[in-house]
């Protein structure tokens, strides 16, 4: 395959993948705790050299670009007040730890929490939110819940005109050394994999608020326009390369005919 056609084709393929990433980001621009996905690109020549290719990779056919996957940007999103007592937003390096329906311990900044039929604190997916001692159960009869900046959960109730407050649990808030290396389940939940977790220290919990997605919709729209332009330019280049090759073939047929 001529280098020009390969270069154009590889560019179209990579930019189509990048467009999918930008579209996913836009679709989750209002999803609490969602982390922006960033597409990575690399040169095919450099990839060949990293694989041990000897010689001039570019002149040997190593033209074009290739996808190098993506990562999720873990920078802080903006906090938005909701007034819901079970909603929590976190500032700092901490993640909530939840257990999904497959038994995996996952990390998230999506703090829109609720209760199941047994009073357990869960995510909207029904996944258990972990406390220091395991699942967190809101006691029956509690008519008020306070969550302090350290994640301590305090249930209040009235009995015979006497109001009592009881600390029932503390959210399990953990940190990792390399947040960008977390394995995404999706843009809200991440699997630490082999990376060890530790108790977070530099954080603050904000009750009645949610951390918004860290996707900037305007920035994503600008990115989509740039991606589309690169795709269109590569498509045009491929068309011209194909037409040039067809003309050369016609010339050869005319010469030998």
Closest residue by Cα to residue 124 from 153, 98, 93: 98
For residue 44, give the nearest of 94, 83, 10 by alpha carbon: 10
**Separation between Cα atoms, residue 16 and residue 146, nearest integer Å:** 47
pLDDT for res 154: 96
Q: Residue 213: what pLDDT?
A: 97
Predicted local confidence at residue 3, as pLDDT: 65
The pLDDT of residue 252 is 47
pLDDT less than 50: residues of the chain: 1, 57-58, 60-61, 247-249, 251-252, 256-257
Distance CA 155, CA 234 (A): 61
Place of tokens 């939840």: 98
Which residue carries 């005109």 as its tokens?
Answer: 161
Please, what sign has the CA dihedral across residues 26, 27, 30, 36? negative
pTM (predicted TM-score): 0.80
Q: pLDDT per residue over 68-82, tens digit each?
A: 889 999 999 999 999
Listed in sequence order, the residues at least 6 apart from 47 whose beta carbon sits closer than 8 Å to its beta carbon are 62, 66
pLDDT of residue 123: 96
Please report the pLDDT score of residue 172 as a whole number.
97
């Amino acid at each position: 395959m001529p280098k020009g056609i390969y270069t154009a084709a590889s560019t179209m393929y990579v930019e189509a993948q990048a467009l999918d990433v930008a579209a996913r980001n836009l679709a989750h621009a209002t999803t609490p705790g969602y982390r922006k996905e960033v597409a990575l690109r690399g040169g095919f020549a450099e990839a060949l050299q990293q694989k041990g290719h000897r010689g001039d990779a570019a002149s040997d056919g190593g033209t074009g670009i290739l996808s190098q996957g993506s990562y999720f940007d873990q920078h802080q999103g903006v906090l938005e007040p909701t007034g819901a007592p079970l909603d929590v937003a976190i500032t700092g390096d901490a993640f909530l730890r939840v257990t999904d329906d497959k038994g995996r311990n996952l990390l998230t900044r999506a703090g829109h929490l609720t209760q199941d039929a047994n009073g357990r604190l869960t995510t909207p997916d029904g996944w258990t939110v972990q406390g220091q001692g395991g699942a967190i159960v809101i006691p029956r009869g509690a008519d008020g819940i306070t969550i302090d900046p350290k994640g301590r959960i305090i249930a209040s109730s009235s009995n015979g005109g006497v109001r009592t407050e009881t600390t029932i649990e503390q959210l399990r808030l953990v940190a990792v050394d390399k947040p960008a290396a977390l394995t995404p389940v999706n843009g809200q939940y991440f699997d630490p994999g082999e990376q060890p977790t530790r108790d977070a220290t530099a954080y603050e919990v904000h009750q009645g608020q949610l951390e918004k997605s860290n996707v900037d919709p305007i920035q994503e729209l600008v990115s989509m326009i740039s991606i589309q332009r690169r795709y269109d330019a590569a498509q045009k280049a491929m068309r011209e390369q194909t037409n040039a090759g067809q003309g050369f073939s016609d010339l050869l047929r005319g010469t030998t005919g």
